[in-house]
Chains A and B, each alone.
Chain A
Amino acid sequence: MKKKSSLLYRLLPPLLFIAFCLWILLGLRSEYLEEVAGMTPFYLTSTYTSQLMGQGVWGAATWCSAAICACMTNPFLGAALLTILLTTLAILLQALLRLKWTWAPLCYLPSLWLLGNFTCRGYELYTFKESGTEFNILIIALVAVGILAVISHVFWKKPKTEKKNATKEKTANNKGKKANIKQKKGDGTILGFSVSVLIMVLMGWYTYQRTFKDENYRNILRMKHAVSQADWQKVLDIASAQKSDLAPTRIQVCYTRLALYKLGLSGESLYNYPDGDTEYAAKSVNQYLRLIAGPQLYYYLGKPNYAYRWCMEDMVEYGLRPHYIDYMLRCSQLNGEEKLAEKYARQLNTHPFYHIDPKQTYEAERKAIEPLLEYTNILDGDGGHVEAYLLQSYATMQGGTRQMVTLSLDCALILKDIKDFWPLFIKMLPVWKHENANHIPRHYQEAALLFATLQGNVDLSQVNIDPEIKNRFDNLINEANSNSQYGDEYNANRLRPLYGNTYWFYYFFTTGLKTN
């Protein structure tokens, strides 16, 4: 019975730690693990390896640390590996300090601190210039503690008094006094053990408190990974699952719009999803939309040069991250730069978790984007304002393929650009007539009704407006007229339940949003 409880005491700290570690890493930060992998350069090439090894101990530690980060491409693998290493550090520390099981929980404090250092980070990842060094201290500590533990066990003999005690204990046991001695020692150790477990738990609580748990950031990462796989429905599912009391950031709004456009639903559902410009929960102000979503938005919306440009600029600042190379590869393919695409594919394929065939992997999405490339080349610049640039450039674009005109129409609506709306709307009328049984997507009908009313001189008699939408619009006008004496905030709150999912509501009440 005593033996069993002793074993329990010995196993409790590591089991507690492993469970806690896996819960934090997989339960709270699994998306982040995947993101870290995409943002960490790790290539099994002679150039990359020799470059790091040339930096001595720090370079070697960076290689190992980057390898751990690379494993996070599969969050389960990454979390398991990190947990094993952190647990090993604690066990080695225990061996080095020759602590009895009573105080063993205290050996997990450094591991918890290192875990917290990793999980406390969020947006800093994108502006962190030393990618891959996240676990350098862990690696160096593991090696140092491991070496010292071995040295101490090989060269450090037990003091005589300790040996004597051990012999006495043995003798006493033999004489049947075992229970008595154990009882004496046991009273002290259980108290000590309880105290050390309590300290460990407190450190765990502190680690949990430090962990970055921003819900918007988590959803951004989920959406980003779904976009990367062109899984547009998943993006919409994540947007729909967003808590109603939490307004999204611009990145989420842009991803949602992109998914709606790709699924051909923007005309029907663009204003069903929450809009917002919630501040990024970051410690410093930066162009996070560009840093996190810029290349993807540009790429999927037919601006490969600008996607490529920002990958290149950020690669200069933050290193040869696989995410950048991946999108540079996709952009090169889209641009027909085969040799360049092959170069990026060769590099990416030296990453242990990327397997890309430059000719096939992105073939389907390339074909889907190609209709958006039918525009004339000009010299331009976005100043890093991705959303504003995309909206402006498409809203003011006239002509092009059907996909381009649809996108232009969406952008004109978002910008409340009446002047550019009409030619695009008229251009699409015959398309809807032939392909959509003369059904005009709901938001375009709403916009046409609104703009016609605002301008006063537009005849919509030849346009197939749904009577229900017309009635709804008339009701809104009546409501607005009867409550014109109240302020916007009052009217917005009153009208949101009835008209919150309409373009009209967006037009009148969604104002002043920042676009970056």
Chain B
Amino acid sequence: MTRLHVQLAAAAAVLCLAVAPFVLSPFSITLMNYIGIYSLVAIGLALLTGVGGIVSFGQAAFVGVAAYATAWVSALNGHSPWLGLLFGVALTCGVATILGLVTLRLQGHFLSLSTVAWGLAIGFLFGNVEGLGRFNGISSIPPISLGSLALVSSKQIYFLIWGIVTVVLFLGYNLLDSRLGRAMRALRGGNTLVESLGINAFRIKLVTFVIAAFLASLSGWLYAHMSRFISPGPFDAGMGIEYLMMSMVGGAGSLLGGVVGAAVVTLLKNSVQDYLPLIAKGASGQLEIVAFSALFILFLQWARQGIVPFVARSLPKTRRARPQPAPPLPRRAQPAPGELLLKVDGAERRFGGLVAVNNVSFEVRSGEILAVIGPNGAGKSTMFNCLTGALRVNKGDIVFAGRPITREAQSRIARAGIARTFQHVKLRPRMSLLENVMLGTYARTRAGLFAGAFRINRREEASVRHEALMQLERVGLGEKPFELAGNLPLGNQRILEIARALAADPTLLVLDEPAAGLRRQEKLRLAELLRSLRADHLTILIVEHDMEFVMSLVDRIVVLDFGSKLCEGAPAAIRSDARVQEAYLGGVA
């Protein structure tokens, strides 16, 4: 399957949508309209939950904010629905921004619980605020009009709804394939990974959150002017979970899945309403929610992946062309060899009463490979985390390239030119090798939300692709750039992480136990690669456990023991140092 096939399929789908209202019964068209309206929310959730990993139970509240806003503007104050759209979108995005600023630093289930909280709180507001019709709702909302044409019938508004859905899908897929989209797709890898790439994770979460709210607000606007009447019911917590269900059934993480999920859930609900009365007379309303929740639970138990990813796996793989040569990305000015690059001065880090790093000082000079070694519990990892900003030192200073980074955020340290790898490999297993390496270029590029969505980033993207391919070739993984990263063996995953770090054009490369878990051949290859990088004047700091690996590779060694620096020197001197032997072997061997 090539790109052309995908485009043809998309064109055919759009054509079908355009013809549908002339073929379908009025009832089916109404059903389609609801599907379209729900799709918008579900697409937003696919981005937020599926791509970004933020499970929100509260999207229905955003739909409600926009619906009530436009109803207030148009039905109660007599202005145009288009003004209602502006007001609704602005209000929803404003509310989302404030909620996001407050809650998005929460982690894991705390964040999801907060969405339950504000979802409920906003839902209760609709029924209880004076001037919004309380539980009776707001009626006689005017239809949307285009010039003199009022979109009254379901067939008329059909085109508006599905037009918007199509455009949203198109822009959404563009966005996911851009610099910002890749950052969103990295969010699930955890904050440490995202920040290590020079990406401000909080900002990306906020943008994703507001985009999802924006799509919910479009949905709310359409809903208000299609049904011409609103009450608190459709925006309550129950609907919030139904939206979540749509996006999960369709396949969380797939935008198309949002549409498919909305369709499946809506049609299923509709047929449940049709058939349940046949089974249980008089109790259908109650059974409906039971049947529905039970189906959802079964789905979560057995088919968490969702429909679209399931179908997509059985389709032939999309063949893609290798990236073509393109103008290079701008490079950083590298320091002269031998210049002082990193200076750690009296670093101290405590965890309660435990002093994990105690008054450690050392320097790294440009162009060398320095290893920090030590037995288990020596404070190597803590030192590493302090260098990269994952932890703060309690005392002491860290200066990098003449700039104090002691109190800097992780992403800013990364942007300053320190690129890192992880002891427990942090790749995005469902992204290709190329895309994983492209993530590394985030801090060197600038295309934003609109550039990504409207594809005015093409030149930069071409450079990024080419750069990523070059780095893959540099580390020897250039043969299959479109392979999924999760399919690589561990040794190559480590090397892929190095390629990603190189794509950031770093001044200092810091490696966290790169040899851990590797087989002998893999270790030799890794050492070979690191030597070749040193030949390219790159400075490397290794935190390592494996003496053999370190001794033959590095220029200088700093030995830590029980949090303090034991000694420092060339590998041969370290090998014969009695203190080091005692630390490692518990006595002179």
A, B from the same assembly: no
Could you list which residues of chain B lie within 8 angstroms of chain A, going by C-beta atoms?
A: none
Chain A interface residues (CB < 8 Å from chain B): none
